[in-house]
Amino acid sequence: MTQLSHSVSRSLFAGLIVCLANSLVADPMEMLTTEDLEKELFGTHLFGHLMGSDIPFDECIEPDGETVYRFAPDSTVIGYSSPGMMVVTPLAQACFSYPPDDDPNPSCFRVFRYQDGYVFDSVGASSRFIVTRIVRGVDICPEPGSFIS
């Protein structure tokens, strides 16, 4: 073997070792099925942040699918709050419409279990929302604009 091929072989081997080590330490994520989404998301209040930032959000989902979404409450970014509607599709996606009746392009997400919460991975976009706290048994959400923590 030439010096170049030894160098390439060592680089490939080192890369393989790093990938294997990362896969052993990384938290596995399990995608929720349609049935899981229906069972686990309705009647909850979810709290977390936009991946790659500390910008907080929360989403309250009533048992009938009506939602209240808040982005950046109590942060330096201008906050946003809106009523909406969540539906679960047969493709195992949670789709949100804001406002609830007039949105022709809902935001759909694949949802993964992650640590004690979820990761909402946007379908067709590059955003991910990390849910770090879940309140279950919610019947009625706060009014839009009522930022709570």
- Calpha distance 95→105 (Å, rounded): 9
Q: Write down the pLDDT at residue 18.
A: 33
pTM for the complete prediction?
A: 0.76
pLDDT recorded at residue 76: 60
**CA atoms of 59 and 66, how far apart (whole Å):** 10
Strand, helix or coil at 53?
Answer: coil
Q: Contact at 8 Å (CB) between 103 and 111?
A: no
**pLDDT at residue 22, rounded to an integer:** 35
pLDDT at 8: 34
pLDDT of residue 23: 40
State the Cα angle at 56 between 103 and 28, rounded to 5°.
90
What pLDDT is recorded for position 11? 38
Q: Kindly give the confidence (pLDDT) of every residue in the chain, 149 residues in length, as a single tens digit, with 9 standing for 90 and above.
A: 444 443 333 433 333 333 333 343 356 799 999 999 999 999 999 999 999 988 889 999 999 999 999 887 665 666 778 899 999 999 999 999 987 666 778 999 999 999 999 999 999 888 999 999 999 999 999 887 655 54
pLDDT on residue 75? 58
Give the CA distances from residue 140 to residues 31, 43, 45, 75, 116, in Å, rounded to whole numbers and listed in that order.
27, 8, 10, 25, 23
